[in-house]
Structure 1
């Protein structure tokens, strides 16, 4: 089987809505058998693709985020953010963004953030007179913070695929995530200036703030455990995920929101999501073997180095490619497919793997927010049950600050590398 026929089969199966893993496995098996290799050879590479200790962090972080979603932690974060901010135009928009920032230290994925925060934030904003498009667009854009800020599931997958330190990539993702917050906050400020009729919150009440602070102390332990444990060297990322999952269970028991139904649902969702990701990882290892045998990375490297010797131009091409890919694929399969191809080429340009990782993750996430396909938008739409066209139009302005942050990452590599360097990671 020639490479062009292999690619055609993979793309054709994806267009027929065959699950991503099987769209890669079936053509790969045909390729191997046509080259005299056994199915056992393929099975060995699939097993090796998931036989990795760092990947144990994936189901643990997913379990922590899914469980936190079902225990009402997003509501506690919302109450704290609303009590913290005084009365000002656009008050609830800042509360929305603050809640997304707080939840990002727990969930690890934009889809969990979008599903959870939208249930709390959008109805409250609508009651206060905010337009649906602005409320839903801000919630969708803010959810991207969860896939960039540690503990990010895409970051764990990138680190495992690229064989780099998960802690280093976590550290390198903190500043980009905070830049997203700053960019969206700036947009909210501009929007609120032209919509001064939108009411703010109540006057600051110290008693309400104190009560909300006490209620949020438990959830605040989770990012301290995850990030503090990893950056201090006390835990590996996998160990910190396990400890944080146990702490989440304890918090649920203390809050009396941990019911058998909530635990079972979180466990079931974790198993389904983790199994899908790991199957895709195993399948992508087969794809990587095919591409390696066909010397695709070497061919692309030769072409790109002939076309340009500028790392910035290369990264801009990568950004365009990944945003387009993010329109149709969720970040996990896109990362598992593209990283083995892009990483060796980036090495030829002297690009730091952590720098490439932050750009890859944010580019793919912007793709999931871009109409007309954007997967995050469909999560918001399924929760609000409003016409998707309205959401498609509303989210476009929010892409401007996100693209601005992405441009900063491309042109200023130190934004991604300064924190890992300071921590010695």
Structure 2
């Protein structure tokens, strides 16, 4: 259908008013879509049809699976085993406890797919440990909050699943594309902690690395350490889809918890309730977002936006920098999944016209969403870390600035060198 500027004005005007009034994003998207349909020939049944198809996609089933697997891991105390292995590995270098925190967050990220869940699971153990070792409370909380953001960059990642569905790209390929940027960010974070430890004299555990102790910790924590290898291995090996791998993760975590006798009926029920709440929140957004995005495409709104971008510049590098600035600003007040489902159908088509890969933009989007998780007033990871550490958001916000700076450096690197994110995806495409 031809581009209709009136539809664009109606849909974005209504959406803006709803957001200013504080209407939740899922309802705001639905109301904006309904308002646009009122002035278009498209029947209202369109909303019902797209609500059904938008929430019934097979790939979305992976989200509750990975959430439940992460919840079961925490309640089975398998995260304690992960932290012990990382402590023996890196605890005695400068800034060792902070490095251990980032390594543990990276490993747990390969289980949960959630930033706040990673922050809570690792923070409840590592923040008290760092404070006892002499680290400042706010700095310790900032480390955990930053490490928690790895939960959405290192696969499996719930935001990546939502983006892949919205952008019509391979979930498996996008997972694989997140590995190099994820490991690169872990290395940058760890280097920062090492420098901090050298400057302050903090961080050594007093236990020099011994291979025997490491192998012992590895053996004792084998149930936790095998899980991400198993889950990601079946995905990348082509033996299972991400959705099937999520179910495998749930079965594995359940079995490990029962065998260790840490997972009883009460813990399992609580994990199911938490998973249900989080999944419901995702689906309430995804249904209206699907209707919103398809309506934009139907009336040529992305083409109008593309022309607006091209009128500024046809240099994809400059446009990506401008879009990144926009995403950083939006990330300060909009939750990650909400911003992905809202902005992907708006921003992706014009970027593709300029030659930007959907995979590059997806990974860049996730990295910039990490910045949003650490930026007030939303800053969800800051609130989780504040609750665990019992210190103020303001103090953590100042302490986290150097780590946000590293994320922004990574974002610029991904813009300049797109192959860092697209190379691995190409393996799956071939």
Greater mean deviation of Cα atoms: 31-40 or 349-358: 31-40
Match among 29, 40, 45 for residue 35 of structure 1: 40
Unaligned 5+ runs, structure 2: 1-5
RMSD: 1.9
Pick closer, same or farther for the CA change 1:310–1:122 going to 2, 3 Å.
Answer: same
CA displacement at 1:199 relative to structure 2: 4.4
Corresponding residue for 2:3?
none
- Which residue in the other structure is 1:127 paired with? 132
Change (3 A) 1:138 1:48: same
Q: Is 1:304 aligned to residue 314 of structure 2?
A: no
What do the CA deviations read for 1:98-125 (whole angstroms, capped 9, x no partner)? 1111111101011110111111110110
Alignment equivalent of 1:409, drawn from 406, 414, 420 = 414
Aligned equivalent of 1:352: 357
Deviation string, structure 1 residues 354-412 (Cα, Å, up to 9, x no partner) = 11110111112212212343121112112223211111111111111111111111100
Q: Distance in 1 between matches of 2:203 and 2:241?
A: 46
The runs of at least 4 consecutive aligned structure 1 residues that moved more than 6 Å come to none
**Normalising to structure 1: TM-score of the pair?**
0.95
User: Which sits farther off after the overlay, 29-38 or 183-192?
Assistant: 29-38
Gaps of 5+ in 1: none
1:273 alignment counterpart: 278
What is the alpha-carbon distance in structure 1 between the residues aligned to residue 334 and residue 257 of structure 2? Answer: 34
Cα distance in structure 1, aligned partners of 2:210 and 2:158: 37
Aligned ranges 1:227-266 → 2 under 5 Å:
227-266=232-271
2:333 alignment partner in structure 1: 328
Candidates 216, 222, 235, aligned match of 1:217: 222
TM-score scaled by length of structure 2? 0.94
Task: Identify if the C-alpha distance between structure 1 residues 197 and 222 changes in structure 2 by more than 3 Å, giving closer, same or farther.
Answer: closer
What is the aligned counterpart of 1:89 among 82, 94, 97? 94
- Which deviates more, 283-292 or 270-279? 283-292
Shift of 1:12: 3.2
Q: Do structure 1's residue 15 and structure 2's residue 20 form an aligned pair?
A: yes
Is the CA contact 2:91–2:99 (under 8 Å) kept in the aligned structure 1?
A: no
Distance 1:163 1:294 in 2: 19
Q: Hey, what's the Cα distance between the residues in 2 that align with 1:364 and 1:87?
A: 32
User: After superposition, what is the alpha-carbon deviation per residue over 1:150-203, rounded to whole angstroms, capped at 9, x for unaligned?
Assistant: 101111111111111111111110000001101101111221121015543423
Q: Aligned-pair distance for 1:9?
A: 3.3
Tell whether the 8 Å contact from 1:107 to 1:113 is kept in structure 2 after alignment. Answer: yes
Aligned residues: 425
Give the Cα–Cα distance (whole angstroms) in 2 for the partners of residues 39 and 344 of structure 1.
25
For the residues of structure 1 that align with 2:89 and 2:358, how far apart are their CA atoms? 38
Deviation at 1:148, TM superposition (A): 0.6
* Residue in 2 that maps onto 1:374: 379
Cα pair 2:8 2:301 within 8 Å, conserved? no
- The answer to whether the aligner puts 1:107 opposite 2:112 as a matched pair is yes
